[in-house]
Structure 1
């Protein structure tokens, strides 16, 4: 079991349920459920990132670096233009440049000039980076992705609901 960010909550008390109760008590009935939903998603993200960061730390990775390595490992020839990687990861070009620089300095990727566009670069996963991302993926699969603590049908509903939410916010076109 993962310890919450600020230690365990008081037994039997859900701070978000209490916040919802306060919203209702203050007359914000129309906003109470939305506030509870948003706060729950934000807290779930904090809990997952804390766990994932702790698991990736021994590999010298952050989740963002892991995602870039994993993306490159799936790419044809383990290579992809920076532009396409940024689009797939939904990362700002400046952030991607920083991620790539760190991974390159650690020997996990190389940057090559794009022969089709002299202004852009191609990111290439090295053998070292490929081994690292496989090892890190095994840990995340075992300790996070296979152990969410939710029933399979709950995971399916969660993914569906969040997918619809993301689509309505323009995250992708369904």
Structure 2
């Protein structure tokens, strides 16, 4: 989604100028922030989706597979997937249905709760998510388009915003990840 011919003027700066010119001074900074973050999200998602396309994965499908691969046994209750991905249950259920259809995930009855579903990564799904992760690490995550210092600052700023919105509470110290 990056332009091959950059625009001569930053349209978001022009939008802020217009906000100020129309007397919306109190909202101009917030509008600029919101629209800037939304545009950055579009740019990053385009890179991610382009990288995942050869694997026939959307980012939503990738997230479910990656979450299952991170779990100890490659399986989680559907409700845990919903909670950890912070998306609506209907969206996760629909994504899971497509992953099951494609043989990447199996759906089982939960052993302790007959009403709940358990999602389990298949060997094919595990191979695919590892290959897709390698590609994402190489093509997107290793160089997101800003310096490491800026990335660290931006993550901290966005984390404060998310925390203030009630997205999460201060975490307890986490153990170091296990070696692969």
2:108 equivalent in structure 1: 112
Normalising by the residue count of structure 2, what TM-score does the alignment of the two structures yield? 0.91
Distance 1:32 1:159 in 2: 23
Please report the RMSD computed on the Cα atoms of aligned residues, expressed in angstroms: 1.2
Which of 30, 33, 38 aligns to 2:26? It is 30
Distance 1:65 1:127 in 2: 16
2:132 equivalent in structure 1: 136
Q: Which runs of 5+ in 1 are unaligned?
A: none
Q: Mapping of 1:1-16 within 5 angstroms?
A: 3-4=2-3, 8-11=5-8, 13-16=9-12
Distance 1:134 1:15 in 2: 38
Normalising by the residue count of structure 1, what TM-score does the alignment of the two structures yield? 0.94
Distance 1:137 1:69 in 2: 10
Matched, 1:81 2:77: yes
Query: What number of residue pairs does the alignment pair up?
Result: 170
Q: Which runs of 5+ in 2 are unaligned?
A: 171-180
